[in-house]
């Protein structure tokens, strides 16, 4: 489900919008910031009611990537690509390949200031197609000498963040016996559900794709219809699908102690953080929680340690969440404000000491 949202403020360095010459599809590539280095952010293939919805998503997601990469301590800026499918469009193999060749050309036009990767709707194999047109792509299949699937590291980071949140709200990081609702059972949400179930969590799950219901059965989780999951009482609510889920109406009805999930931009509006705080619901900012994949991809591409060492780095996302939550409580501000200030500090330092792109 895509929530139509107004276009955000334009704070970007560069945005390219094209109609793919091979595919005929709308493609937007948004470079929000390269202050800390070449921007890194995935390529989303999704259905949008109107091209402006796709553009708005690219603008919001790229700005979120700037925050994500900064708080993660990466020498990387923020960018994002979006390929729009019209409602009812189903891509055959030929047109899908054409779309990612078109994306490769668009990425190449940024001369290395933006590196793309897989995201919602795209795969490692799609990135291999992009690589036919540009070298500025990460997350290629292992067989191609790439770093492989980033959903595992992303899921690990969310797990460690969730433990940090439980520690703050219950006094224990143990997930056993905790009621956790996961909205979205894609690559990341599905992996998280499997791990939490194995550790004894009491799961409620849903997904806009009814075929994912089989996973609920396999895990012994309770399935609810999409749009009803926020009404189920939980210790932690995990938004793991498309952004914009947490509207004012959803927040007012949300029955949980905390929100912690990998969905990019889950708040329909920035003020949602204050609304959650007013209801006493702890919010772990998405761009901190879901940074595992980008940490993994950036470190792998730059050969900064073995995969084991990089995955160990991902586990420290939980420590970053703890730092932000402690700062938030000490200063009487929302966790979102604390996380944004952490990112701003790093961006200011980067602006004073530019890194090589």
Any idea which residues carry the catalytic annotation? 80
Task: Tell me which residue of 127, 104, 107, 110 sits closest to 34, measured CA to CA.
Answer: 110
C-alpha–C-alpha distance, residues 33 and 178, integer Å: 39
C-alpha–C-alpha distance, residues 100 and 83, integer Å: 9
- Distance set, CA 125 to CA 68, 100, 149, 168, 190 (Å): 25, 10, 10, 40, 20
Q: In terms of C-beta distances under 8 Å and separation of at least 24 residues, what long-range contacts does 128-131 make, across chains too?
A: 129/97, 129/100, 129/101, 129/104, 130/43, 130/100, 130/101, 130/103, 130/104, 131/104
DSSP state, 164? H
Residue 135 half-sphere exposure, CB side, CA atoms within 13 Å?
3
């Amino acid at each position: 489900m895509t929530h139509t949202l107004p276009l955000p403020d334009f704070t970007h360095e560069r945005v390219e919008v094209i109609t793919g010459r091979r595919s005929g599809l709308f493609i937007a590539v948004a470079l929000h910031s390269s202050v800390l280095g070449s921007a890194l952010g995935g390529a989303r293939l999704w259905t949008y009611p109107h091209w402006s919805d796709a553009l708005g998503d690219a603008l919001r997601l790229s700005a979120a990537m700037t925050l994500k990469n900064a708080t993660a301590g990466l020498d990387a800026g923020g960018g994002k690509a979006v390929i729009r499918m019209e409602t009812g469009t189903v891509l055959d193999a030929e047109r899908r390949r054409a779309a990612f060749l078109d994306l490769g050309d668009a990425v190449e036009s940024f001369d290395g200031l933006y590196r793309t990767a897989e995201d919602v709707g795209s795969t490692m194999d799609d990135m291999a197609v992009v690589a036919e047109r540009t070298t500025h792509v990460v997350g290629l299949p292992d067989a191609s000498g790439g770093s492989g699937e980033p959903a595992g590291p992303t899921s690990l980071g969310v797990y460690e963040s969730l433990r940090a949140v439980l520690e703050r709200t219950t006094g224990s990081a143990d997930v056993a016996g905790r009621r956790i609702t996961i909205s979205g059972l894609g690559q990341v949400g599905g992996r998280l559900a499997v791990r939490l179930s194995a550790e004894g969590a009491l799961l409620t799950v849903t997904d806009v794709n009814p075929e994912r219901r089989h996973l609920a059965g396999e895990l012994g989780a309770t399935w609810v219809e999409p749009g009803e999951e926020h009404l189920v009482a939980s210790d932690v609510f995990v938004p793991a699908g498309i952004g914009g889920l947490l509207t004012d109406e959803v927040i007012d009805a949300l029955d949980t102690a905390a929100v912690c999930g990998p969905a990019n931009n889950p708040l329909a509006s920035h003020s949602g953080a204050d609304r959650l705080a007013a209801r006493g619901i702890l919010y772990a900012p998405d761009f901190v929680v879901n940074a595992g994949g980008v940490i993994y991809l950036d470190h792998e591409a730059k050969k900064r340690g073995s995969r084991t060492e990089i995955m160990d780095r991902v586990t420290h996302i939980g420590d970053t969440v703890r730092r932000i939550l402690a700062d938030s409580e000490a200063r009487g501000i929302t966790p979102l404000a604390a996380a944004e200030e952490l990112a701003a500090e790093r961006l200011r330092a980067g602006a004073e000491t530019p890194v090589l792109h």
